[in-house]
């Protein structure tokens, strides 16, 4: 039996470790992210700085349709600041009582404004390529945070043998190496990339901290409950308890 149990463990480990990795591109390097450790939390400062980078650079091309301005309160923006941030953008609302669409400043309850009217206009502005939505970007890429960091910092001139094309850039971390996005960050590159990656991690998994906190409570409760149940089980199964059970 012991052999079989150890085998089942092996079975589990094998399956957990098997992951399909796409070929061609260079695998991302491992970095240390504070939020990735077992009880790790998001570095609020970094996430807020990352939002700055996002709003000044990324958001010019990328959408983030699942995040609302009010969510910024979770990373430490005050209600007033959130209102002001939202009010910088304008939303098409309506129709009003006259049947007309109208523009109004965005409210905290609105989702992040899209930089383009629709997919076609996004493609038209980006030489046919569609900048992906960033709401789930960390989850939706093999390598997650590491991959995005490496991509942001990994722009190089194409190596010999690969022909330079207009509006196509070279990045060895991108599958295939040829990417339609020009190098987005340059000033203080390392810091900005780290910040924006942490912002994106928060955006993909905003409930991570709450989940871990609840997890600790749930597991502590289950451990205590299991301990009590174990004692009861032992009592019930001991010879002393035998008379009562039959």
Q: Which residues of the shown chain bind another protein in the complex (CB under 8 A)?
A: 1, 3-4, 7-8, 10-12, 14-16, 18-20, 22, 38, 65-67, 71, 132, 135-136, 139-142, 144, 175, 204, 206-207, 210-212, 214-216, 218-219, 222-223, 225-226, 229-230, 232-233, 236-237, 245-246
Q: CB 221 → another protein: shortest distance, Å? A: 9
Taking the least distance from each CB to another protein, the nearer of 36 and 104 is 36
Q: CB 210 → another protein: shortest distance, Å? A: 8
Taking the least distance from each CB to another protein, the nearer of 78 and 218 is 218
Taking the least distance from each CB to another protein, the nearer of 3 and 80 is 3
Q: CB 226 → another protein: shortest distance, Å? A: 4
Q: CB 97 → another protein: shortest distance, Å? A: 28
Determine the Cα–Cα distance for residues 170 and 241; give it in Å rounded to an integer: 74
Conformation bin of residue 238: beta by default, left when phi > 0, alpha when psi is -120 to 50:
beta
Q: CB 213 → another protein: shortest distance, Å? A: 9
Taking the least distance from each CB to another protein, the nearer of 29 and 226 is 226
Taking the least distance from each CB to another protein, the nearer of 58 and 192 is 58
Q: CB 42 → another protein: shortest distance, Å? A: 15
DSSP the chain: -HHHHHHHHHHHHHHHH-----SSSPPPPP---GGGSTT----HHHHHHHHHHHHHTGGGT---TT-BGGGGGGGT--HHHHHHHHHTSEEEE---TTS--EEEE--TTSBPPPSSSSHHHHHHHTTT--PPPSTTHHHHSTTHHHHHHHHHH-B-PPPTTSPPBTTBEEBTTSTTSEESS-----TTHHHHHHHHHHHHHHHH-TTHHHHHHHHHHHHHHHHHHHHHHHHHHHHHHSGGGHHHH-
Taking the least distance from each CB to another protein, the nearer of 1 and 164 is 1
Taking the least distance from each CB to another protein, the nearer of 56 and 219 is 219
Question: Dihedral through CA 158, CA 163, CA 168, CA 173, nearest 10?
Answer: -40
Q: CB 25 → another protein: shortest distance, Å? A: 11
């Amino acid at each position: 039996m012991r052999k079989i149990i150890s085998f089942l463990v092996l079975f589990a480990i094998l399956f957990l470790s098997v992951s399909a990795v796409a070929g061609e591109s260079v695998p991302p390097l491992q970095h240390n992210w504070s939020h990735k450790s077992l009880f790790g939390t998001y570095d609020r400062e970094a996430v807020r700085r990352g939002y700055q980078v996002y709003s000044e650079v990324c958001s010019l091309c990328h959408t983030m349709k699942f995040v609302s301005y009010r969510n910024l309160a979770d990373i430490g923006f005050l209600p007033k600041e959130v209102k002001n941030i939202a009010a910088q953008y304008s939303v098409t609302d309506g129709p009003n009582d006259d049947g007309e669409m109208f523009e109004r400043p965005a409210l905290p309850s609105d989702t992040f404004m899209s930089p383009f009217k629709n997919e076609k206009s996004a493609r038209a502005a980006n030489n046919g390529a569609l900048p992906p939505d960033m709401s789930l970007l960390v989850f939706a890429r093999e390598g997650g945070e590491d991959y995005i960091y490496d991509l942001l910092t990994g722009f190089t001139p194409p190596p010999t043998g690969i022909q330079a094309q207009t509006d196509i850039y070279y990045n060895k971390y991108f599958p295939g190496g040829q990417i339609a996005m020009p190098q987005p960050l340059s000033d203080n590159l390392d810091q900005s990339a780290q910040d924006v990656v942490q912002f994106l991690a928060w955006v993909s998994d905003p409930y991570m901290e709450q989940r871990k906190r609840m997890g600790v409570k749930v597991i502590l409760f289950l451990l205590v409950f299991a301990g009590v149940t174990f004692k009861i089980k032992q009592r019930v199964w001991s010879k002393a308890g035998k008379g009562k059970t039959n």
